[in-house]
Chains A and B, each alone.
Chain A
Amino acid sequence: MPVKKDYSISKLFCICCLLAFSLFAYGQQQGDSLATRELEGVIVTATRNERTMGLLPMPVSLISKATIKSMGSLRLNDVLAEQTGLIVVPQVNAQGNGIQLQGFNPDYTLILIDGEPIIGRYTGSLELSRIAVGNIKQIEIVKGPSSSLYGSDALAGVINIITERPTRNKLNFYTRYGTNNSLDLNGDVSLTNDKLGVYLFANRYSTDGYDLSPDKFGKTVSPFVNLTLNTKITYKFSPKTDLSVSGRHFKEDQRFNFEVVTNNNPIRTAGKGETEDWNINPVLTHRFSNRLKTVARFYHTQYKTQTNLHLESDGSPYYQDDFRQSFDRPEVNTEYYFNDKNVLTLGAGFIRESVQTSRYGDEAVRLQNTRYSFFQHEWNPTQRLNLIAGGRYDYNTVYGSQFSPKLSTRYEVSKKVALKGSFGVGFKAPDFRQLYFNFTNSAAGGYSVLGTEVAAARLKELEGQGQIQTYLFDPALLGNLQAEKSFSINLGAHAEVLPQLIADVNLFYNSINNLIETQAVAITTSGQSIYSYRNILRAYTQGIETNLTYPLAKYLGLSLGYQLLYAKDKDVVRAVKDGVVYYRDPNTLVTKQLKPGEYFGLYNRSRHQGNIKLFYNNKEKGLEASARVIYRGKFGIGDIRGSIQGEVIPPSDRNSNSILDQYDDFVPGYALVNLSIAKSISRYGLRIQVGVDNLFDYKEPILIPNLPGRIFYTTLNYTLSQKNKTN
């Protein structure tokens, strides 16, 4: 597989770096720094209570509505792709968009809307493009395990999307049109009086998709249209009691045309896919006194997706797949202020989750119940020191109980320097797939996957029918799946290095055990493999994340972000150390021992990732502009089973040791340059924006299918709002 090196882009990145640093050195003017403002932002995700971001002891960041608008973003993946340490990666089937955080796969980051989880992790990770950004007030990101507050899935961290609340009378229309005939229409209205507030949001997004391999049948991303409705009603019963009820409905229809390669014969198929989710979330808050506050919340959500494919030739059915999930959660939590130095939070809840899918061999409903309770104590012994200790206990009917503690502390060394440290345990419960799968993939060679709860019985059944040729692994040893667990340390500093030059540094180390991997169990008489799951892998991720912000000029802010990452399989590290891993040069056929420094690490992880962003915002003239360069260093694509538009994804390993070492093929590093400029005419409530994403049209059709080429767009915004009412 030929691997091109795009020197022009890396050169450009170098030039930008140099330029940025020189500007740094010369920029002396005072200004309203974006960073300072954001530090004063209030976030709820880290402690479940509203806290000033800058005072929190764990690594947190916030993306404001203004930033999202300035980037001209459409969907959640667009926003997250530009953040330091976050990488938008395709899912297992090489389609879609999930988020990688501190080197963790997308399955390990919990994604919430207003504190409630989004469901529909159909293939393990969550499709980020399901989330429109038009109703987002801010996005809060907490890095490091947060299972102590949120339970399962919060291993790598938590991304919490805070949606708008009705705060004043306001009407807003927003539209964006761009390349690929992508049209995004948004409208939201907010109405309030002393007691009642109503917020309504509607979004319709349609696109022709895009095609990175035009000579192949079908598009890389097929055309789709989706609709999002969101409403939030708030009511103040009394100064002590208020209620908020929010709801969301999302529906997407996609029309597919693609080629399936079975036994090397291309079969053209057509069909449609439907995805739908909805939720309702009443939250009742009561302040018993100045010291005691209780929040009772209930959340119900449902997700369903369905794919129907037929043969293009005669219209006969080819493939059918459906998946339904539902999730209910009542929860109560109470916050008690003992005094300025001590705040205690206690909570408890119950989760009932169910899944129904053709992939489990029948349409029976699979249920899982979890009971949990958590506590958190915030202690500020002095003005300079604070400490947060917490823990959560989850009891689940299938995988047993988990206790997830977390301890964080922050110490202000001086007015300009603060140190932070946190230690935590995170876990991820085995998902329904890993427990109940009973699925034979007829579209990809006929292999089967059996969840651990059904594997033994199903294998026995197949054996009875004489369909097992040989066992590769003793099914009796499959046993019960355990939750995947991580132990993590984050150590950081926040410092004003030079006047107004703010630096945030965070060192992280995550040790992950019990990782669930597929295990080949048997081969059928027709030569097909049967897989199940086992807790086999152990891995670690470690690195440094750095963010610098500096006001270059009165209206011009600069930020630089960088993440260094090492993500490795512990057993491979051990084997390399023991000298039992080799590689064979594919050209000379000479075999050599692999040295410890030569093992690169896990697939799909870049050692280097970074960004440079310039934001210009002149409020007086109503002029805004941004230039962002997002860099991702080289990574190995892995041995992904599957194909993109009939082309097999080439494995990275080219020297016969099945691990990624420095002699293997890598997807070369690349930089994306995104620009935007906007003009507001506040007299008429108008804002016009033009922009371009991926200016240099970087594409990797087979290796990075989730990256479309260059996108031009224009947006128009109209706001009608009543002047702020005095509270």
Chain B
Amino acid sequence: MIKLKILISVFIVALFTAFISCDSNSDPDPVVSETIADLNADYAPYESPLPTDRPPSRVGATNKYTLFSFKTGTIVSQADSATVNWDIAFRSTSIIINGGTSGPGSVTAQIVSGTLESITEAPIDGYKSDNKNGTTAEERNAIPAGSGKGWYTYSPGSNLVSPIAGKVIIVKTADNRYVKFEILSYYKGAPATVSPEPAGTDKDRYYTFRYVYQPNDTRIF
């Protein structure tokens, strides 16, 4: 028991040291990582009162994707949906990329394992575009939808969507630039403990993600 306490103390000290070393070790990368917080991917409140005989529907959902450009680091207007001005788009848990059957562009993407820091070079090949006529989730989307198939897991018991740690999405944009990005949270404010609506109070369909955009013509980040 005493050993355990010593162990805990050592652990706490180690944790602090880790924090300090993280702080002092500021960005050696030539490219910068950006964090986008709370990108609204068609959030809508649940109907009230909740029905007892079917899953509840959501009031006022637009069913439209929120478009995003890595080059500018901003949300792109809905009016530009038929242009090549956007790279990626979010609607609830589905993510599409501008290309294939999803848009006029030629964006391709793939998911790799690692942390944003550990991936220092984008793969040469393995990129896919969206194809809505595919038979499996993996064929339909370069970033497949479904629990455990792409970027998240879903637990029916707690109605919780959890972005899988260590899934980094590599995007190759229409002008052959590379982006690595990681989804951090699916809930508004990225709370540490999530209690999703309608049972809880946390609003879903709000993406927080971190990405690195390489503006130069290189696969090295």
Contact = CB atoms under 8 A, between A and B. Distances in A.
Nearest to A14: B1
29 contacts: A1-B193, A14-B2, A263-B50, A263-B52, A263-B53, A263-B55, A263-B56, A264-B56, A264-B198, A445-B156, A470-B137, A520-B147, A529-B156, A580-B113, A581-B166, A582-B165, A587-B192, A589-B184, A639-B158, A640-B157, A643-B157, A648-B158, A648-B199, A651-B155, A651-B158, A654-B193, A655-B165, A656-B164, A657-B166
A580, A584, A651, A657: residue with the most chain B Cβ atoms closer than 10 Å: A584
Contacts of B56: 263-264
B74 to A, nearest CB: 21
A210 interface: no
A31 interface: no
A337 to B, nearest CB: 52
Contact of A591 (B115, B160, B162, B193): B115
Contacts of A527: 55
B156 A447 contact: yes
Contacts of A8: none
Contacts of B114: 582
Contacts of B113: 580, 582
B214 interface: no
Nearest to A586: B192
Contacts of A10: 1
Given A264-B50, A264-B198, A651-B158, A589 B208 contact: yes
A589 B2 CA distance: 32
A592 interface: yes
Contact of B157 (A472, A584, A649): A649
A458 B179 CA distance: 45
Contact of A657 (B165, B185, B210): B165
A592 B157 contact: no
A642 interface: yes
A692 to B, nearest CB: 24
> Contact residue range for chain A?
35 or more
A445, A589, A639, A649: residue with the most chain B Cβ atoms closer than 10 Å: A589
A13 B1 contact: yes
B155, B166, B190: residue with the most chain A Cβ atoms closer than 10 Å: B166
A442 to B, nearest CB: 11
A648 B200 CA distance: 11
Nearest to A2: B193
B50, B56, B156: residue with the most chain A Cβ atoms closer than 10 Å: B156
B182 interface: yes
A22 interface: no
Interface in A381-413: none
A642 B1 contact: no
B153 interface: yes
A653 to B, nearest CB: 8
Contacts of B51: 263, 265
A267 B53 CA distance: 11
A658 interface: yes
* Chain A contact residues: helix, strand, loop or mixed: loop
B116 interface: yes
Contacts of A11: 1
Interface of A: 1, 10-11, 13-14, 17, 262-265, 267, 445, 447, 470, 472, 520, 527, 529, 580-584, 586-587, 589, 591-593, 639-643, 648-651, 653-658
Nearest to B147: A520
Interface string B38-80: 0000000000011111111000000000000000000000000
A11 B4 CA distance: 12
A584 B184 contact: yes
Contacts of A470: 137
Contacts of B133: none
A189 B49 CA distance: 62
B140 to A, nearest CB: 9
B158 A583 contact: no
Nearest to B55: A263
A581 B1 CA distance: 30
A656 B137 contact: no
B115 A642 contact: no
B46 to A, nearest CB: 8
A131 B164 CA distance: 44
Contacts of B153: 656, 658
B146 interface: yes
Given A580-B113, A586-B193, A648-B157, A593 B1 contact: no
A17 B166 CA distance: 43
A657 B50 CA distance: 31
A639 to B, nearest CB: 6
A538 to B, nearest CB: 19
A648 to B, nearest CB: 5
Closest 3 CB pairs of A and B: A582-B166, A584-B165, A641-B157
Interface in B75-99: none
B113, B147, B210: residue with the most chain A Cβ atoms closer than 10 Å: B113
Nearest to A265: B52
Given A470-B137, A648-B199, 20 more contacts: A10-B1, A263-B51, A263-B54, A265-B52, A447-B156, A472-B146, A529-B156, A582-B114, A591-B115, A591-B165, A593-B166, A641-B157, A643-B157, A648-B158, A650-B158, A651-B157, A653-B162, A654-B192, A657-B165, A657-B166
